Amino acid sequence: MKMKKIILSILGISTATTIVAAISGCKRHAVAVAATATLVATNTQAQTLINGAGSSFDYPAFTKWFEAYGKVDSNVRFNYQSIGSGAGQKQLLGQTVDFGASDAPMTDESMATAKGKILHIPVVAGGVAVIYNLPGDIKIKLDGDTLAAIYLGNITKWNDTKIAALNSGVNLPDLAIVPVHRADGSGTSFIFTDYLSVVNPAWADSIGKGSAVKWPAGIGLAAKGSEGVAGQVKQISGAIGYAELAYADQNKIPYADMKNSTGNFISPSTDSVSAALATAKIPEDFRFSMVNAPGDKSYPISGASWVLVYQQTKIADHGKPLVAFLKWAVTDGQKLSSQLDYAPLPDNVQQRELQLLDTIK
């Protein structure tokens, strides 16, 4: 009898504190509530916490997916650190996370240092818009060679004959071109320099591709982040820059139509990037570049971003939920990410990825 009373009173007290905590929202109480919540969860079914780290380009997509996936499987929780692609690869190699995320595929050298086979799973794709600031409401067209020449410093005026040849009928001003690039290492720079390297041999020889490169000396300036580049282009008359499509759209900066491999001038959009993905040559291991993809509707400056996982998962019981999530992300999740200006993965790519995901143990 006495025992029952004690138990009842304990129950009563804990319920009371929970209610008080919920009302007050005090930090210390919140911890207590969280602790109770986990306790309840572990009693019914073990909750899995999956850790990821890497690309900041993917971060908005992951945030949206994690939230929506809670409704699909409430027993899996995710923790993603948006620390950059390079750091994400390092964390995966150091086996401190379950998955990494990177805007550039891993190199053979760094794959060789891994303790196990690493798989590349493309999860999102995006276009890089070539933005500019010109007086008046001018819509311009550019091709890869002209863009490379601008960034190499060989074309310095907007009314240069090469630009004029692509834009007949457009009144180009006699204005100095100020090329703006990213100051920080970034996947956007990787896609941009990858494109210039593919279409322009001079660029490939002297600069090359990378998330950070040695930009031609004494030309233009650099800013931190896509928002930084967009900001500078907006401020400087005559500036040209590059940023993810979402930034260009949000900041209402005009962007150029780019000439693709079939000779069509294409405006960047989720559709034209998806078209590029559908026609891009994708090898077995998914380490591909989709710049200058064939197909008459493909936007040429686009790239994918990958989730990196070990084929043999390091923590045994994390494998299944992670694979289930990734399968969901590359199929159902694509509808959500396209709301955030990422290009959805086309069906043929989705099917191949599902097969690859089945090989994960």
Partner 1 sequence: MSRTKSAFLPLFVLLIFRREKKFDCMATTKMTTATGQFGDRAFKWLTLAMAFAVFVLIALIGYELASGSHLAMQKFGWRFLISSDWDPVNDIYGALPVIFGTVVSSLIALIIAVPISVATAVYLTELAPLWLRQPLIMFIELLAAIPSVILGFWGLSVMVPWLHAHLFPAMRGTLGFLPLFKGPDYGPCILAAGMILAIMIVPIITSVSREILRSVPGLQREAAYALGATRWEVTRIAVLSYAKKGIFGAVILGLGRALGETMAVTLVIGNIAQIVPSLFSPGATLASTIANEFTEATGDLYYSALFELGLVLLGVTLVVNIFAQLLLKTFAGPSVKPQN
- Interaction of residue 208 with partner 1, rule CB under 8 A: yes
Number of residues that bind partner 1 (CB under 8 A): 40
Q: Is residue 303 within the footprint of partner 1 (CB under 8 A)?
A: no
Residue 242 beta carbon to partner 1: minimum distance, rounded to whole angstroms: 15
Regarding 202 and contact with partner 1 (CB under 8 A), the answer is: no
Shortest distance, CB of residue 232 to partner 1, whole angstroms? 7
Kindly state whether residue 94 participates in binding partner 1, applying the rule CB under 8 A: no
Count the alpha carbons within 13 Å of 53 in the hemisphere toward its beta carbon: 16
Any long-range contacts for 216-221 (C-beta under 8 Å, 24+ apart)? 216/151, 216/152, 216/153, 218/153, 219/151, 219/152, 219/153, 219/179, 220/151, 220/178, 220/179, 220/180, 220/181, 221/178, 221/180
Query: What 3-state DSSP class applies to 251?
Result: coil
Contact status: 83 vs partner 1 (CB under 8 A): yes
Asked if 175 touches partner 1 (CB under 8 A), the answer is no
Range list of β-strands (E), the chain: 48-54, 76-81, 99-102, 118-132, 141-142, 178-182, 221-223, 239-244, 257-259, 265-266, 302-310
Residue of 111, 170, 183, 360 that binds partner 1 (CB under 8 A): 183
Site for partner 1 in 307-336 (CB under 8 A): none
Written as one string, the DSSP assignment of 300-325 is SSEEEEEEEEESS-SSGGGHHHHHHH
Q: How many alpha carbons fall within 13 Å on the CB side of residue 159?
A: 7
Binding partner 1 by CB under 8 A: which of 3, 40, 112, 217? 217
209's tokens: 């591709």
CB-nearer residue toward partner 1: 222 or 340: 222
- 14-22, 227-235, 285-293, 345-353 -> range binding partner 1 (CB under 8 A): 227-235
Q: Does 207 bind partner 1 (CB under 8 A)?
A: yes
86: contact with partner 1 by CB under 8 A: yes
Site residues (vs partner 1, CB under 8 A): 56, 83-87, 89-90, 104, 107, 110, 176, 178, 183-187, 207-215, 217-218, 220-224, 228, 231-232, 235-236, 239
